[in-house]
Amino acid sequence: MSTTDSPEDAAFRAEAREWLTAQLEGPFAHVRFRGGPGEEEDAFEERVVWEKAMGAAGWTGISWPKEYGGRAATLSQQVIFYQEYARAGGPGRVGHIGEGLVAPTILAFGSEEQKQRFLPGIKNGTELWCQGYSEPAAGSDLANVQTRARLEGDEWVIDGQKVWTSLARTAGWCFVICKTEPDAPRYRNLSFLLVKMDQPGVTIKPIIQLTGTSEFNEVFFDGARAPAENVVGGAGNGWKVAMGLLAFERGASTLGQQIGFENEFKEILEAAKANGKASDPIMRQKLAQAWIELQLVRLNAVTNLEEGTTRPGLAAVNKICWATWHRHAGELAMEVMGADAEICAAPPYELTRFQNRFLFSRSDTIYGGTNEIQRNIIAEQALGLPREPRP
Ligand SMILES: Cc1cc2nc3c(=O)[nH]c(=O)nc-3n(C[C@H](O)[C@H](O)[C@H](O)COP(=O)(O)OP(=O)(O)OC[C@H]3O[C@@H](n4cnc5c(N)ncnc54)[C@H](O)[C@@H]3O)c2cc1C
């Protein structure tokens, strides 16, 4: 990808920068740099208002086709938008699961009716989503999900339990992987259902995390219902759809997050300069090394976007690179803080930003597929090594 904008891209950048600067230095100055992983409760309501403002101005779903309210933005324009968003201090998006995961999945696998029903709510920020994949016995081994759904008349009736469901308490909708074809073989027995959260058969129990907050939750389905037409890609095709969504999760949707890492690195750097740690020869080496790796993470992300669908294993390389970098950055921030890093008030914790990120970033190499699982994917898909034994 060129480092110089084409005339069209330069015009796009100027338009994005103008809007973001006007908003984030004007009416939305109070949400700058707020929210994000580990800080999901920070200014949540204000960030919902921001999400709606972005939608109204045409800055959500920019990659979608124009007939569904998007801008049909090219890859380079998506990169530009994420760059400008990070530069302007745009807050953590409350709608990222909808925009980044379920919307591309519905666009790729959904019916026309599903596109018409669900894309507008994602675009205008009125319907937030959560991801109902993991279960107590189905994390890395996702195909082992035990949540079941059966058709009763014109509705699916759903029973089972999900776990680690991020943002379930604020989401209006959940995409649920469940068994619908009990007699079919593994991988052909699942469906991808779109389920309303606010209904009698759904119970949500928050899980308190290291950070003291509860980004994720247990979700129990006891006779929850969804209209028969809310199955994406057809009954029994849930595995294919679920894998398609994971490709989006490990692809374009991580780009904004990685460009946001630039802001985090700058904060670490400024802190090191301010407290004198930057003069320590070992720390200087570590800061320089972290910056080198950040450049590689960024280049890797762009390469993944350009070639990830055609070069097996590249998306897994990308996931390992950014997740591992971010975890190391959390550790580096602690080192920069020195002894202060180990001090915080008793629960409920009042963590500093660096402490919060350090603790939350431990999860980066777990969610979206662990590093070990990514290495298995690389071994099998990129290197042609023998498949690992399956039960
Ligand atoms: C912050 C956070 C947010 C999350 N949000 C969501 C969400 O919104 N929705 C959702 O559905 N899930 C979510 N998850 C769950 C996440 O997808 C799972 O934690 C992840 O897939 C791992 O599954 P597990 O926790 O069951 O661990 P397990 O699969 O039990 O793995 C335990 C350990 O064994 C290793 N392991 C397992 N199998 C293999 C193998 N075949 N080869 C080598 N090593 C292996 C793993 O790498 C890991 O180290 C979230 C997790 C976190 C941490």
Q: Examine the domain organization and report whether 207 and 257 are in the same domain.
A: no
- What pLDDT sits at residue 63? 92
Mean pLDDT of 285-304: 92
Is residue 370 lining ligand 1, measured as CB closer than 6 Å? yes
Domain extent at residue 29: 7-94
Instruction: Report the Cα 315 to chain-centroid distance in Å.
Output: 14
pLDDT in tens, 128-170: 999 999 999 999 999 999 999 999 999 999 999 999 999 999 9
22-26, 177-181, 258-262, 334-338: which range is least confident on average? Answer: 258-262
**CA–CA distance, 364 with 325 (Å, rounded to integer):** 9
Return the CATH number at 33.
Answer: 1.10.540.10
Is residue 107 in some structural domain?
no
Average pLDDT over residues 19-34: 96
Q: How many domains does the chain have?
A: 3
The percent of residues in the chain predicted with pLDDT above 70, rounded, is: 96
Residues 221 and 278 grouped into a single domain: no
Residues 231 and 274 in one domain: no
Active site residue 39: no
Asked if residue 353 has pLDDT above 70, the reply is yes
For 14, 127, 130, 160, 200, the CA distances from 98, given in Å and listed in that order, are 27, 8, 8, 23, 23
Average pLDDT value for residue range 30-41: 86
**pLDDT given for residue 3 in this prediction:** 61
Domain membership flag for residue 1: no
Contact 42, 93 (CB under 8 A): no
One domain for residues 150 and 208: yes
* The domain boundary residue, chosen from 198, 213, 236: 236
Q: Within this chain, do residues 255 and 375 fall inside the same structural domain, yes or no? A: yes
Give the Å distances, CA to CA, from 250 to 166, 245, 285, 322: 16, 9, 30, 10
Residue 273 CA, distance from chain mean position: 32
How far apart are the CA of 376 and the centre of ligand 1, in A?
Answer: 14
pLDDT higher than 70, residue 1: no
Residue position matching structure tokens 């994406």 = 232
Mean pLDDT, the chain, whole residue set: 92
- Return the pLDDT at 262: 86
311 lies in a domain? yes
Overall average pLDDT of the 204-233 stretch: 95
Same-domain status, 329 and 278 = yes
Q: How far is the CA of 36 from the centre of ligand 1 (A)?
A: 20
Tens digits of per-residue pLDDT, 91-116? 999 999 999 999 999 999 999 999 99
Residue 344 has pLDDT above 90, yes or no: no
CATH code of 361's domain: 1.20.140.10
- Looking at residue 213, which CATH number applies to its domain? 2.40.110.10
Residue 257 is assigned to a structural domain of this protein: yes
Please indicate, yes or no, if residue 32 is contained in any of the structural domains.
yes
Kindly state if the Cβ of 366 falls inside 6 Å of ligand 1: yes
CA gap 131, 122 in Å, rounded: 14
Cα torsion through 231, 232, 237, 243, rounded to 10: -130
Mean pLDDT of 260-264: 86
- The sign of the CA dihedral 307, 309, 313, 319 is positive
Ligand 1, atom 41, residue with closest C-alpha: 373
Query: If pLDDT is split at 50, 70 and 90, which confidence band does 86 have?
Result: confident
Higher per-residue pLDDT: 194 or 4: 194
pTM (2 decimals)?
0.93
Best mutation site among 366, 375, 380, 385 for ligand 1 pocket (most ligand atoms within 8 Å of CB):
366
